[in-house]
Amino acid sequence: MWSRGLKPKGSLKVADTVVGENPDPHAAGEDPNRRDFIHIAAGAAAVGAVGALAWPFIDQMNPSADTLALASVEFDLSKVALGQQVTIKWRGKPLFIRKRTEAEIAAAVADDGANLPDPQTDEERHKPGKAEWMILIGACTHLGCVPTFAGGDYGGWFCPCHGSHYDTSGRIRRGPAPLNLAVPTYEFLSDTTVKVG
């Protein structure tokens, strides 16, 4: 293949040194030559280099190491009165810590079989034996606004931005939000202390 490419018709000069003639081998219907190889190799090297350089410039916008390090918070549950909620900041987002009344728990359990957009039982949304503690990320699953406490048609939360109604289990019942309020990773260190994250 190479040897054919190096023999232009009617000339003893190799393709790379032809001056004043059409250097395009394909115009005469010939096979690829060394010049084609160098074009493709240079082009591929340039594309590879741009690709390799692009990634650092894209990835620099992802969360930095110090942001990722802000992992967990501990919270003293004795600050929350029955039927009330405390909002703290965790990873830049609001975190709801709500101490539910018996009536609120009963209402949530009673609706386990209701027609839920994102079906989950109340049992699945709290720690075993800790039904009074509802710990949720306070960002509406629609567009991230902070739902208001005890608002809406189901007594849980109501998002003022676009009208999503959540029940006392934080499950979406009506409105544009697609999912239930997210439950973060957490554990009870004692009866009065919870560690989130």
Instruction: Please identify every residue annotated as catalytic.
Output: 162
Burial of 172 (0-12, 13-18, 19+ CB in 10 A): buried
Say whether residue 119 binds other proteins (CB under 8 A).
no
Binding part of the chain for other proteins, among 28-36, 106-114, 135-143, 187-195 by CB under 8 A, reads: 135-143
Binder of other proteins out of 98, 100, 142, 165 (CB under 8 A): 142
Binder of other proteins out of 8, 138, 156, 170 (CB under 8 A): 138
- In the block, which residue shows the tokens 């990634």? 55
CB of 181 to other proteins, least distance (A): 14
- Strands 165-167 and 73-76 come out as unpaired
Element of type H or E holding 187? strand 186-188
Binding part of the chain for other proteins, among 19-27, 59-67, 76-84, 106-114 by CB under 8 A, reads: 59-67
Say whether residue 72 binds other proteins (CB under 8 A).
no
CA distance linking residue 64 with residue 104, whole number of Å:
40
CA distance linking residue 164 with residue 131, whole number of Å:
24
Say whether residue 91 binds other proteins (CB under 8 A).
yes
Binding mask 145-164 for other proteins (x = CB under 8 A): xx-x----------xxxxx-
Binding mask 165-184 for other proteins (x = CB under 8 A): ---------x-xxx------
Which residues make Cβ contacts (< 8 Å) with residue 153, sequence separation at least 6? 165, 173, 174
